[in-house]
Amino acid sequence: MGVTGFWDVVEPLSKAKKTSLTQESGDHFREYGRPLRIAVDASILLFKHTCKTESVFKNKPFGGINHAAKAFIDHIKDIMLEGVDPVLVFDGPDRPAVKRGRPTVRTTSDIREVPPNPSFQDVLDRFDLGHTTALVKLFLQRMGLQCKLLQQRLKLKRNLQKIEAQKLEKTGRTQFDWIIAAWLSGGDYSDGIRDCGPTTALAIAKEIKAARPQLVHMLAGIARSNRDVAALNGMLLGLWNTLVGAILEICKSSVIQKAMKADFPNHQVLGLYVRAKASSISLLEGMKTSLWQRRPVSFPELRQTAANHFTWHNQDRARQFLWNFTPAFLARELLLASQSSLDRLDLIVSAKPQKPKADEPSMVRVRYKALDVIPIDYDGECQEPSGRKPYDEKNTKTPYKLYTVDLPKFLLELGAPRCLHYMRGGPVSKKRQAGSDPERGQPKKPKPTGTRVALSSIPEVGNRLVPMSSGSKVTQKRAPVPEIARSQYSMVNNRMTETIDLTDE
């Protein structure tokens, strides 16, 4: 679940390490021999689709876009291009009926035929079993709790911030602080205190001090037994009064104080924070086995899914489908080939290393054929309608022209190593270097320019240089001094001066 603004509070305390998803993916594959798997919360797509937040350009008869699906697909494509194997996760069956003020979806037929049984806690449990290596939320300012590794995607495409949960303990903020702060500030569900942000919630958790572990266990008991706060007695009532007293002490706002009602803790939502439902070990082991299997993709079904989410009338949408999906699936094929020790050189037409940039991984520009990566019946698609402007053949999206994409170099090293032998030793410039020999690939010595040309064009007399006429141009190198040289005389400043002729006899 997401708590808006939580990361802004965590980052200054944790001193997050800046890295890149490509670097993490490459290092992980070299170390463990398997791709980096990242859990992606797919419930946001279902949530937006149910709430009908997507819009369609109704003024255009042959166009339209589902914004919720597009944002989700773009996120999946981005991490696939980094050499990552995405693992889709969904909200569990015990999710509340209302999320962000809107009803939550109760079916997942748009994405999967069978409603998913595991909850979001399954992803956290996979950390212990070695299934999933990282956890990246779909949007900014979202944070997962109770996991060993947190990764926050920055606004730049490939940059990440990585935090180890153990380092959070050293900041003086224990796991109980984050649970209480997330519960008080609310997050996605309407269970928090009004106008109580993460900063205020952490101040309340700090005020409780030693009572934090007992308070969390008490909250777990309330969520487990569905008891009302009014039914508490003894030590539990004292802990609750300690929490309420800290809230009223920190929060001087009358709005927050009025929000403290007797039925403040929502038992169902409270259980998601302090007592998340976890699936059985046998189910997780079965999921682990399925993750390792090579999962074939039915491209006709993928085409039909895209047609359901986006207006699809003719070849124009098919071109956009290939233009958007083929780069990610090319990276996927290279990743799967690396696990099977195959060489998918057949998918790559040409490869050219790019000039490395600061703080960015090595990239290779690859050209490929779109229909070799996603073989769909492009010619069988409907032609352009007569009432629409004809398609421009110069458009680079046509699948009969080569597509271009920049991929991490480690993907080619693992999935198509032979293509690297056909590339030059290093990045080359777009323009051929002056004086280079295209046959041998060895650049010749460049011609001297500027002052060097003038100095080399002046003949040497003894220990001094004698300038020649301004109109003369020397384009050849001086030959070595022969054993027998012929002397000549020339006029320099109305004087007869002896010079040396360096030409052969």
Whole-number pLDDT of residue 152:
55
pLDDT band at 139 (very low <50, low <70, confident <90, very high): very low
Q: CB–CB of 182/216 below 8 Å?
A: no
pLDDT at site 31: 85
Statement: residue 68 has pLDDT above 60: yes
DSSP 183-201: HHH-TTSTTS-TT--HHHH
Q: Across residues 43-62, what is the average pLDDT?
A: 49
d(CA 502, CA 505): 9
Q: What angle do CA 15, 19, 24 make, to 5 degrees?
A: 130
Backbone φ, ψ for residue 345 (5° rounding): -65, -20
Instruction: Yes or no: say if 474 and 453 are a contact pair by the CB < 8 Å rule.
Output: yes
Task: Report the alpha-carbon distance of residue 360 to residue 422 in Å, rounded.
Answer: 24
The CA distance from 404 to 410, in Å, is 17
Cβ atoms of 37 and 84 closer than 8 Å: yes
pLDDT given at position 199: 77
Q: Nearest Cα to 196, choosing from 262, 268, 251?
A: 251
Give me the residue label for tokens 């052969």. Answer: 504
User: Domains of the chain: which residue ranges?
Assistant: 6-290, 307-384+391-422, 451-501
**pLDDT value for 330:** 93
pLDDT at 300: 85
Nearest to 336 by CA among 375, 298, 367, 295: 295
pLDDT 10s digits, 474-498: 444 455 555 544 444 444 444 444 4
The answer on pLDDT for 384 being more than 50 is: yes
Residue with token string 């949530």: 47
Question: Residue 62 has what pLDDT?
Answer: 36
Rounded to the nearest 10°, the torsion over CA 443, 449, 451, 452 is 40
Cβ atoms of residues 24 and 36 within 8 Å: yes
At residue 387, the pLDDT reads 53
> Which among 49, 66, 41 is positioned nearest to 104, based on CA atoms?
49
Q: Look up residue 174 and give its two tokens.
A: 């224990």
Please report which helix (H) or strand (E) contains residue 25, including its range: helix 21-32
Q: Is the pLDDT higher at 435 or at 198?
A: 198
Beta strands in 398-466 (DSSP E): 403-408, 460-461, 464-465
What are the two backbone dihedrals, phi and then psi, of residue 414, each rounded to the nearest 5 degrees? Answer: -95, -40
Contact 162, 154 (CB under 8 A): no
Nearest 5°: CA angle at 370, between 366 and 374? 120
Instruction: Round to whole Å and give the CA distance between 383 and 370.
Output: 19
pLDDT (tens digit, 9 = 90+) per residue, 296-321?
788 888 888 788 777 777 788 888 88
Nearest by Cα to 323 from 387, 402, 231, 388: 402
Query: Packing angle between helix 6-14 and helix 198-208, nearest 10 degrees?
Result: 60
Question: Tell me, what's the pLDDT at 367?
Answer: 92
